[in-house]
Amino acid sequence: MKLGVTYWMLGGFEGRVPVEAAAEAAARMGYQSIELSFGPGVLGPATAKSELEQMRAALDQVGVELSSLATPVYWEQSLSSPDKTERRAAIAFTQAYVRAASALGTDAVLVVPGAVDVPWAPSRPVVPAAEAYRLAQDSIRAVLPLAEELGVTLCIENVWNKFLTGPFEMAAFIDSFGSARVRAYFDAGNCVINGYPEHWVEVLGERIGRVHIKNFTRRNGGGTLDDFTGSLLEGSVNWAGVLQALQAIGYDGFVTAEVLVSERGLPDAEMSARVAREMAQLFAAHGSGT
């Protein structure tokens, strides 16, 4: 497995840190790959082709692989929005996302396919689950031909959206497209509130295209956003079980740290360097060599 870091830990959500600087920081800390953020900041739909080529060259020169692209945009522009204008904008954004991934040389983008609600944004509408499922399918199908043409996989992440909340539901959603270009972006920390990450790995199996890791402390059978932790070693995730489950399904791809809790705010170089050491420790202890 290849151990990496999300740009957000090194560059923040605003995306102001240049790609080359973030990649250099990742390399110094010992990460093998980086997941870039697409949306606000230095990389987004308005980024020119020449700039994408420069970013790709910079990553090659630094020697850090580009694992995938991620984005915060879906929380404000949903692929399952009942508002047609918003949904069309989300589809157009995702098409630009896919094109940028191809130009940058990665074959995966993280996709939040929709949301029943956004728990930290009460102004966002509550969408009936059946409607969210149907609209999300329609939107993914609208993007899929381009993804297949360019060889970019739409990796559906399990997030706190009250949608696709279990591994069987996620598997059925992915299978409904009948395409190798729709897979899962499995986040080990995000499913602790209502399940066990190692069980998700077993059920999703070869559907897993990318992996995020962070930790979460389960409290009284659940928890809140405040229960995500700033360390991989603090929380309720059974890393031995998760890493053994990934080995059992033959996963040998990118594993990206997405630890977003910091008293200093993001970016946080000190935390990012510590998480790199924690990743190395966990993978060495549980036999998941790189």
Q: What is the mean pLDDT of residues 230-245?
A: 98
Q: What is the pTM of this model?
A: 0.97
Q: pLDDT for 25-55, tens place per residue?
A: 999 999 999 999 999 999 999 999 999 999 9
CATH number corresponding to 2-285: 3.20.20.150
The model's confidence at residue 288, banded by pLDDT at 50, 70 and 90, is low
Distances in Å between the alpha carbon of 78 and those of 72, 181, 258, 260, 279?
Answer: 11, 20, 22, 22, 32
Q: Is the pLDDT of residue 188 over 90?
A: yes
Sketch the domain layout of the chain as residue ranges: 2-285
Q: Across all residues in the chain, what is the average pLDDT?
A: 97
Q: pLDDT for 172-184, tens place per residue?
A: 999 999 999 999 9
The model's confidence at residue 221, banded by pLDDT at 50, 70 and 90, is confident
How many CB atoms within 10 Å of residue 120?
9
Q: pLDDT for 4-15, tens place per residue?
A: 999 999 999 999
Q: Of residues 20 and 290, which shows the higher confidence score?
A: 20
SS3 274: helix
